[in-house]
Amino acid sequence: MRILIAGIAGGIVMFIWSAVAHMVLPIGEVGFRQMPNEAAVIAPLKNNINESGIYMVPGMDMQNATEAEQAAWAEKYKAGPRAFVIFHPMGAEPMGPGMLLTELASNIFASLCGALILSWLICTFLGRVAAAGLIGLAAWLSIVVSMWNWYGFPGNYTLAQGVEQTVGWLLAGLAIAWLLERRGTAVPALSPQP
């Protein structure tokens, strides 16, 4: 039960931090730009794409492309421009309750995983907090840095996400480690070896 409570608390802390990072601090906006002449860009997208999905420019069917098509794609890629577009033809409520609840649930489930991992550690309170920060750093390195590398996500966006993830996990780790210790899972400091 203590792990469940610690995980829920950590998720709530992470959700609050994310709200602060996006709505108070500029961290959530780093790397985003306003599309110039938006109407002229949107019109051809609406006329040519019917399905939600991720679209890349230049595009290629990676599974079925011939060698000649792959070579032509490589030349287009080198010449530019390149784009990575997440497209939805239908509108939606911005920051609607469903999105916020999904974010909160994902933060809680992630923190439950973190709380379980932290409960297994034989270390001090600060060791558990540091381990939580490393979970955030590892998530950033394996996901966001890969998106920067393979899909050209902006460097400033990538770094800002590193700050958001690592700080979020450190803060969640404070809550998780504190609740794990308060609930009787404190581990005595390791004594120095002779």
**Per-residue pLDDT tens digits for 32-55:** 999 899 899 999 999 999 999 999
Residue carrying structure tokens 């994902």: 106
100 contacts 12 by C-beta, under 8 angstroms: no
Instruction: Collect the ranges in the chain with pLDDT lower than 50.
Output: 185-192
pLDDT at 181: 86
- Please state, in angstroms and rounded to a whole number, the distance separating the CA atoms of residues 151 and 113: 28
- Please state, in angstroms and rounded to a whole number, the distance separating the CA atoms of residues 99 and 56: 25
128 contacts 179 by C-beta, under 8 angstroms: no
Residue carrying structure tokens 């610690």: 6
- Please state, in angstroms and rounded to a whole number, the distance separating the CA atoms of residues 128 and 57: 44
Give the dihedral of Cα atoms 134, 140, 141, 144; nearest 10 deg: 180
Q: What is the share, in percent, of the chain residues with pLDDT greater than 90?
A: 67
pTM of the model: 0.83
pLDDT at 95: 84
- Please state, in angstroms and rounded to a whole number, the distance separating the CA atoms of residues 189 and 194: 15
pLDDT at 20: 95
